[in-house]
Structure 1
């Protein structure tokens, strides 16, 4: 892949409560279905990262976030075999509501997991992003040839 003009961007929410992270099992998305990730979504364009995080939290988990409770904790420039991404990772420790699976057609399960006890079936780049988060690494590149 050379000079791909379609760089996509997404926001991924690290919803953390008492040292536990909310995970989402992907289903019927066409990408990494059956594996665990976090509440996330593409930026629609014309919206700030924090606003995209608020929208995705409500769309996917029924949670209402306040702008001041969203902290950007990392960025990843990621390459797959078919596209290129700029991923933003945000930490949220306070919200209104209890998480519910608001998109059962895209998610088969929501579950809490200890940050240091991630299941084996977490999406690979997400596992790396969570490691970066735990280790204070703010920027990373992933999927690029060495």
Structure 2
């Protein structure tokens, strides 16, 4: 497997209200899983601008920079793609939550943070668990060839 040397950057919003978080459900043809509001960061925008844009495009809400708190960064692999995924937490927004992309999303629903649906994407499930534990960085789903470490120098103190 040859990975692209360019990383994709994505953002997701852990929008919380009364102990519940907002999830969107993808249509069956797109996997039918639950995920967070979010998406890819475009080359011309910052991470927070991308999140603010995605929140409006997908859920019709307006976020302010000062209401966003970066709570987790995940470096993950999906197929042959290296993804750097930033998760932000917010409890304040303006506007009415609505499904603005019905072709990409069946519905938006609130779930208890400790009771996410079993068909929540694994990256989101892990990020929400780690967010609750105060863990701010993780690596997920990496598959290394057997000889990947053979040319690496040993760590100091190890033989």
TM-score class, shorter: over 0.9
- How large is the Cα RMSD of the aligned pairs? 1.5
CA distance in 1, matches of 2:98, 2:133: 29
Cα 1:63/1:44, change in 2 over 3 Å? same
Normalised TM-score (structure 2): 0.86
| Deviation readout 1:52-110 (Å, 9 max, x if unpaired) | 11101100000011110011111000012221100000001000012100000100010
Which residue of 1 is the match for residue 56 of structure 2?
Answer: 58
Q: What residue in structure 2 maps to residue 22 of structure 1?
A: 22
Which residue number corresponds to residue 5 of structure 2?
Answer: 5
TM-score (norm 1): 0.93
Aligned residues: 144
SS for the counterpart of 1:96 is coil
Change (3 A) 1:28 1:79: same
CA displacement at 1:45 relative to structure 2: 1.3
Return closer, same or farther for 1:85/1:29 CA change in 2, 3 Å cut-off. Answer: farther
Q: What aligned pairs does 1:97-108 form with structure 2 within 5 A after superposition? A: 97-108=95-106
Partner of 2:132: 134
- Name 1:125's counterpart in structure 2: 123
Larger Rg: 2
Question: 2:60 & 2:73 partners in 1: Cα distance?
Answer: 25
- SS of structure 1 residue aligned to 2:16: strand
Kindly state the Cα deviation for residue 26 of structure 1 after the two structures are TM-superposed: 1.3
Determine if contact 1:28/1:105 at 8 Å carries over to the other structure: no
- The answer for unaligned runs of 5 or more in structure 2 is 145-159
Can you give the 5+ residue segments of structure 1 that lack an aligned partner in the other structure?
none
Q: Give SS of 2:94's match.
A: coil
Runs of 4+ aligned residues of structure 1 deviating over 4 Å after TM superposition are none
Aligned counterparts of 1:3 and 1:18: Cα–Cα separation in 2 = 41
Higher strand share: 1
Return the match for 2:81 from 65, 80, 83.
Answer: 83
